[in-house]
Amino acid sequence: MKIATIVGARPQFIKAATLSRVIKNFTAIHEIIIHTGQHYDPNMSGIFFEELNIPEPDINLEIGSGNHGKQTARMLEGIEEVLLREKPDWVLVYGDTNSTIAGALAAAKLNIKIAHVEAGLRSFNRSMPEEINRIATDHISDVLFAPTQNAMQLLAKEGLADKAVFSGDVMYDSIEYYKIIAEKKCFLHNIIKEEPGKYFLATVHRQENTDQIKNLQSIFLAFSELDMPVIVPLHPRTLKLMDEITYRSNVKIINPVGYLDMITLLSNCHKVLTDSGGLQKEAFFLKKPCITLREETEWIETLEGGWNYIVGANKLKIIEKVNANHVQEQKYYFGDGKASEKIIEYMSKNA
């Protein structure tokens, strides 16, 4: 059986690392990795392949950045060519990026079966490019691997129950596996000077915060008023805007880091402030309270007990919720850490 895995953006490399490791245990499965080139800076792409031992992409389409339509169209053209040549049994796509929809659409047009990992997530905000990508991908895929029961229910509401399979969350598998490696290999003081528990960890990259400079400014003014250093490994999209933004010296901007360093920064921080989807969950997994710099979240399970607060870009709300409490207990919604095995077993039986 041949699987063509489509990746292109940072969070997809992390998810693919975990599935590729499982695929290696199935001798009857041959995986080819197609990298669209959506992310290309060494610290947004290459570092993940190296440190997570992801097999080198068989093909890198090197599409790079661009407007949504042009970028997606170029990926579609490139992926189609590869699929025609490679004739895989399955195309495997992750999440909700432009690489996801391009991979799914290319496969759908060629009648190749599509597996969508992290299906059934909805923000109900169609101004987000990710919401369009994930709805479209879910509706043209053949199997929808849902990370939570809530995702299963949302798929059922859209008439997709017969294609939905509860797998659990691949990112939970990832962090369970890599946190042990990070503990052995990474040291906080090799990354930053701050002491454990004495800094906030923040990331910002979503279109709603970067395209509206007043939102970005408001977020950084809130960071500036916090009573501890705020470590911000900053996505290149946001880094390019920082000349226009005012902030105080407690805000420490660093380049994006690899996944193992990120786990180390997360494990040692006081709380997390982010607009990232993946980081909201990882904060929950490692029991760090999170303040989400968006108007909604797809990961509603994390809101229970005050583990995650939705605050948007509003400075006062950010500061208020940084100081809010959370209960100690957490319920587990994200599977048993074996989502990747379930996904590959299903695909293997249904090739």
259 binds, among ligand UDP, ligand UD1, none (CB under 5 to 8 A by kind): ligand UDP
Catalytic annotation on 205? yes
Least spacing, CB of residue 41 vs ligand UD1, in Å: 4
**Which one of the listed residues 205, 235, 270, 326 is annotated catalytic?**
205
Helices (H), the chain: 10-23, 46-51, 68-86, 98-109, 129-140, 149-157, 170-185, 188-191, 207-210, 213-224, 236-239, 259-268, 277-285, 315-322, 339-349
Nearer to ligand UD1 by Cβ, of 65 and 323: the residue is: 65
Out of 100, 203, 308, 340, point to the residue binding ligand UDP (CB under 6 A).
203
C-beta separation of 321 from 311 below 8 A: yes
Of the candidate residues 26, 32, 41, 166, the single one contacting ligand UD1 (CB under 6 A): 41
From the list ligand UDP, ligand UD1, none, partner contacted by residue 39 (C-beta under 5 to 8 A by kind): ligand UD1
DSSP class of residue 201 equals: E
Specify the amino acid at residue 163. Answer: K
User: Which of 34, 79, 160, 279 touches ligand UDP (CB under 6 A)?
Assistant: 279
Q: How many residues are given for the chain?
A: 351
Q: Is residue 139 a contact point for ligand UD1 (CB under 6 A)?
A: no
Q: Work out whether strand 290-292 and strand 272-274 pair parallel, antiparallel, or are unpaired.
A: parallel
Using DSSP's 3-state secondary structure scheme, residue 251 falls into strand
- The item of ligand UD1, ligand UDP, none sharing an interface with residue 262, based on CB under 5 to 8 Å by kind, is ligand UDP
Nearest to 260 by CA among 18, 9, 47: 47
Question: Can residue 44 be called a binding residue for ligand UD1 (CB under 6 A)?
Answer: yes
Residue 302 near ligand UDP by CB under 6 A: no
Among 21, 139, 205, 338, binds ligand UD1 (CB under 6 A): 205
First to last CA, the chain: 7
Asked if 147 is part of the footprint of ligand UDP (rule: CB under 6 A), the reply reads: no
Q: What is the DSSP string of 278-330?
A: HHHHHHHHTT--EEE-SS--S-GGGGGGGSEEE-TT-HHHHHHHHT----S--
Residue 215 in contact with ligand UDP, rule: CB under 6 A: no
Q: Is 256 in the site for ligand UDP (CB under 6 A)?
A: yes
Selection from ligand UDP, ligand UD1, none that 65 binds (CB < 5 to 8 A by kind) is ligand UD1
Our CA angle for 314, 172, 179, nearest 5°, is 95
In order of 89, 117, 310, the CA distances from 49 in angstroms are: 24, 19, 32
Q: Is 323 in the site for ligand UD1 (CB under 6 A)?
A: no
Q: Name which of ligand UD1, ligand UDP, none residue 41 binds, using a CB cut-off of 5 to 8 Å depending on partner kind.
A: ligand UD1
Residue ranges binding ligand UD1 (CB under 6 A):
9-11, 38-41, 44, 65, 96-98, 129-130, 205, 235-237, 240
| Residues with a known catalytic role | 205
